[in-house]
Amino acid sequence: MAVNRKDLAAGAIFAAFGATYAAITWRDLPIGEALNMGPGYFPILLSSLMMAMGATIAVRSLGSAEAISLAAMPWRGPLVLSLATVLFASQLEGLGLFPGILATALIASFAASPFRPVPALLASLGIAILCTLIFGYGIKLPIPIIGSWFRWG
Amino acid sequence: MELLSNLGLGFSVAFQPMNLAYCFLGTLLGTLIGVLPGIGPLATIAMLLPLTFGLTPTASLIMLAGIFYGSQYGGSTTAILINLPGESSSAVTTIDGYQMARHGRAGPALAAAGLSSFFAGTVATLLIAIVATPLTEIAISFGPAEYFSLMVVGLVSSIALASGSILKAICMICAGLLLGLTGTDIYTATPRFTFGSTELSDGLDFVAIAVGVFGVAEIMRNLEGANAREPIIAKVAGLFPSRDDLRRMIGPSIRGTVIGSLLGILPGGGALLSSFVAYNVEKKVSKNSAEFGHGAIEGVSAPEAANNAGAQTSFIPMLSLGIPSNAVMALMVGAMIIQGITPGPNVINNNPDLFWGLIASMWLGNAMLIILNLPLIGIWVSLLRVPYTVLFPAIMAFCCIGVYSVNNSAFAVYEITAAGLAGYILAKLDCEMPPFILGFILGPMLEEHLRRAMIISSGDPTVFVTRPISAVLLVIAVIALVIVSLPAIARKREVVFVEED
């Protein structure tokens, strides 16, 4: 008997997700009845099924034939990439289209190891020019090409 | 004769200069992105989706279809030249294709892939034109109970195709269905699962979710792999296959096309299963079976014909019934909904120009692919040299601005972040995304049909088993579920999918 930690984690996540959704449904949404289903009827079915399945996965993982540990999670890539998207979403208006895309691509470049500044800068410039042409001049997004932060006076 | 006039209408639409241009642009962009190693058709379609939304519905679907088979085709090129399948459906092509390339026959291998795919595409396109009309006529008589059961079949078969645990796949479907319900309930106008946010009252942004789970999560996973590994690219010399090669391609192409066309129609089928089955069948029936694995041209022709045929015929359930049979088709359905077209049997009557134009453009797109790929192969080879470390920041930036542009919404970009992280963590726990995205697309439809079926039957749940078509569909779903859970099959599935990885 060994523990499959991957399954244990997956089962726990699913069960927790199901439980959260079941709780929200129970609190906020009328269930109704089969003839006249309320907005909570289908969600309560799904979230209950998910809780049951998640719990089953978790319980079965405790009696696994072989021990499986959680693979190492290298956090650098996911964190840097998430930071790049969050920065893009929050700062695009102020930065403007061209600087915003340039900054996003440059920050994303830091997810690579080793980080090589010159190719990263060149690639980021390239994509920024391309996207500015497509989305700024082609699709005409209502975002300034150069944002207000770079304007004086 | 009706078929001829329909196809005539289709070609007249497809040959309109704008549509022709978007078909070309789609196949070009699809090939361009699909050739890049580590980016499959799902990621390609997801990241290019935003570019199509400004177009008319017909042009946008023509372009999307072009992107799809372009990326599929680009994947075969990488499979042959650097032994790295751009996507799972060309994984079997690496076996013999790369061996051919190593023996200095990369050119004939690429030509075999191209010509077989074109042949298969032609046959499959005709098949779509022939089968789609009668199928829509049957589907017109479907009530909500039948639709509900049909979607259940679709969801269950996505479990059969997931390589991992069945329970996990079911959980992923449920998660997709639940997240798909986010937004305002259509019957009572009650906001559901919006956590008080006004941005969520229209639901989660489908493009953002697709880009997150297929694009960003994939990049996160690729980054932890062997980075900075320079691929060894086989040299391409002498593109044209010899007469002997051509003769050896005929049988496998035909058999591959038949297998691919049949498996493509099945819900959950499509390109991946087709190419795998075709390769194994060919290995058994071929006179040259000893050569398989060492560069047999049959081993390139058959799976390439099959995956292209399967990719095309998987449009049949999507176009005639409105049911996506795999994740790629789920993205197409999502795009149709955004364009204001309700997928289903009415498309053929309400939008005949779109329906037949799309079908005709598939054939044109396949012809363009041959032209794009064989003479221009040098360009694609040079793309293979672009290192991933340069590529992925560009893709990230492109995804962000693309998703932003759909609704000018910064909130959608936050959704990418969340979907990307969640997709990455779940992938690390061996959970697969295709069942999730199918659930996400089908969630609202499934609920609507369930509710309507129950209202019509006055709350009697037996309606699903007393209506014959619905009952048959549910029996199919149950059988499929039982088959995949049998221990013997479960073990076999593991082997199949491990070989494909």
d(CA B42, CA B184): 28
Query: In this model, does residue B172 exceed pLDDT 60?
Result: yes
pLDDT tens track for B183-234:
888 888 888 998 888 888 888 988 899 999 988 998 888 887 654 455 666 6
Q: Give the angle B161-B166-B170 at the CA atoms, nearest 5°.
A: 95
Closest approach of B260 to chain A, Cα-based (Å): 34
Mean pLDDT of chain B: 85
CA R_g for chain B: 22
For chain B positions 133-192, those within 8 Å of chain A (CB to CB) are 165, 167-168, 170-171, 174-175, 177-178, 181, 185, 187-188, 190, 192
For residue B312, what are the CA distances in angstroms to B10, B183, B190, B308? 16, 33, 40, 6
Query: Is the Cβ pair B459, A34 closer than 8 Å?
Result: yes
Q: CB contact, 8 Å: B396 with chain A?
A: yes
With CA atoms as reference, report the closest residue to B313 among B328, B299, B301.
B328
Tokens (6 digits) for B338 = 């955004």
Beta bridge partners of B192: B183
Residues 6+ apart with CB under 8 A from B434: B42, B158, B161, B162, B326, B327
Low-confidence spans in chain A with pLDDT less than 70: 1, 152-153
The residue among A48, A81, A115 with the most chain B CBs within 10 A of its CB, best to mutate, is A81
pLDDT band at B81 (very low <50, low <70, confident <90, very high): confident
- Cβ-contact B373, B31 below 8 angstroms: yes
ipTM confidence: 0.92
Domain boundaries, chain A: 5-62, 76-150
> Of A82-86, B68-72, B108-112, B335-339, where does the model show the most confidence?
A82-86
Residues in B touching A121 (Cβ below 8 Å): none
User: CA nearest A92 in B: which residue?
Assistant: B410
Query: In this model, does residue B494 exceed pLDDT 60?
Result: no
Query: In this model, does residue B118 exceed pLDDT 50?
Result: yes
What residue type is assigned to position A32 of the chain? G
With CA atoms as reference, report the closest residue to A73 among B167, B215, B426.
B426
Residues in B touching A47 (Cβ below 8 Å): 174, 178
Residues in B touching A91 (Cβ below 8 Å): none
Residues in A touching B168 (Cβ below 8 Å): 7, 10, 14, 57
User: CA nearest A123 in B: which residue?
Assistant: B390
The residue among B389, B395, B452 with the most chain A CBs within 10 A of its CB, best to mutate, is B389
Closest approach of A149 to chain B, Cα-based (Å): 18
d(CA A137, CA B221): 34
Residues in A touching B408 (Cβ below 8 Å): 141-143
Query: In this model, does residue B83 exceed pLDDT 80?
Result: no
Q: CB contact, 8 Å: B452 with chain A?
A: no
d(CA B376, CA B73): 13
Average pLDDT of span B35-47: 81
A-B CB pairs within 8 A amount to 205
- Cβ-contact B415, B422 below 8 angstroms: no
User: CA nearest B458 in A: which residue?
Assistant: A35
Q: What is the pTM of this model?
A: 0.87
pLDDT tens track for B346-369:
888 888 889 999 999 989 998 998
Residues in B touching A96 (Cβ below 8 Å): none
